[in-house]
Amino acid sequence: MAGVRTDEDLVSEYLAQNREVAQWVDTLRGYCENNKQWLARREFILRNMDAYPTVKPGVSNSSLDRLLSLSMVWANHVFLGCSYPEAVMEKIKVMGEGIVVPDPPLHKTTRTEKCSTSSGAPDDSCAKRARLAPNEPDGRPAGKTSNRPMSQKSGPPLQAPAEHQPFFNRLYKAVAWKLVSAGGFGPNLDHFEILCSCVESCKQTLTCVFVPLKDITGLPTGRTQKEGHVCEIRCQTVYLGTGYGRDEAAARAMASKEALKVFQGRKVTVKIARRRYKGRDVEDLLLLDEQPRNQGFPPALSYPFQEECAGNPS
């Protein structure tokens, strides 16, 4: 009906009257967030700023970190169907009251799954978890995949390595200090906990994708019937490592160990490289060290660079 102002109109009007806030809040947009996701999360942040009086434009502090973390948890729940501990779900439900998301995605997953640290306690902030299912080739919820077939046009934008490099330079330093405090890289470390805590300290999350070993195509005949799982770890869509194990926890531990090996060199570099995904070559975004590789990379279990992601501004 003409004359009715939507929430988006009210947010736009507020930002037009507060240019400093408008310029600052746009710096909080995540890489690969499409417009629909960002506008919803931006409204969540603006609506809840009053509850965190120390949150000021351009000022980094623990209150801002908390608000941004909760905004990501809320967005992950709304757009990806992620589930979290009951107390967290109740909190984001209250904080998100009144926010209307047009045509929200429908999620068919009913099983609640949580990442766990070495202590076995659920960790709702360390990592996002994705499980591949039929008709969900890249681990995203049903209904969110691109309508066009994947082709050479799909893939990370050419500027992606340069955009991601500053973050991974910070992560490299965080991992280096963490390993020094742990006595150095070794087989007895909790590699997932170390990687997770370092990524968290840089205000990001890991994404873990799990696939049963028997569902992996292209394995030698003698291995196709073996029990076990494969885990792929990414951060900010950048591939970090793949691991195999008898169960998901063991596969994740091995993937984390492989990821941490990359940080043992003098530096890490984000690059675009060719990988196999579902029987075809694709361009993927990888974190690499300076060591030469005689063998190719493990096949990709997920591919986050579909059309809707690749075309988004950072």
Instruction: Report pLDDT for 79.
Output: 83
Query: Tens digits of per-residue pLDDT, 179-195?
Result: 887 888 887 889 999 99
What's the chain's average pLDDT?
75
Contact 240, 278 (CB under 8 A): no
- Cα separation, 176 vs 252, in Å, equals 21
Comparing CA positions, the residue from 66, 10, 64, 68 lying closest to residue 38 is: 68
Query: 239 or 214: which carries more pLDDT confidence?
Result: 239
DSSP 133: B
Tell how strand 127-131 and strand 206-212 pair up. parallel
Distance CA 47, CA 309 (A): 26
Sheet holding 206-212, edge to edge: 127-131, 206-212, 229-235, 238-245, 280-288, 269-277
Could you tell me how far CA 177 lies from the centroid of its own chain?
A: 23
Enumerate the β-bridge partners of residue 207: 128, 234
Look at residues 301, 300, 289 and name the one whose alpha carbon lies nearest to residue 263.
Answer: 289
Q: What is the pLDDT averaged over residues 234-260?
A: 92
The 3-state DSSP class for residue 2 equals coil
Better-predicted residue by pLDDT, 85 or 157: 157
Top pLDDT among 296 and 166 is at 166
- Residue 144 tokens read as 């969110």
CATH classification code of 160-310? 3.30.160.20
User: Where do the domains of the chain lie?
Assistant: 7-95, 160-310
pLDDT in tens, 15-67: 677 778 788 878 888 766 788 888 888 888 888 888 887 877 777 788 888 88
pTM: 0.54
Instruction: Give the Cα separation of 261 and 263 in Å (integer).
Output: 5
> Three-state SS for 210?
strand
Instruction: Find the radius of gyration of the CA atoms of the chain.
Output: 20
What integer is the mean pLDDT of 210-219? 77
Q: Tally helices (H) and strands (E) across the chain.
A: 9, 8
Distance (Å) of CA 69 to CA 20, 38, 45, 288: 22, 14, 10, 28
The answer on pLDDT for 142 being more than 80 is: no
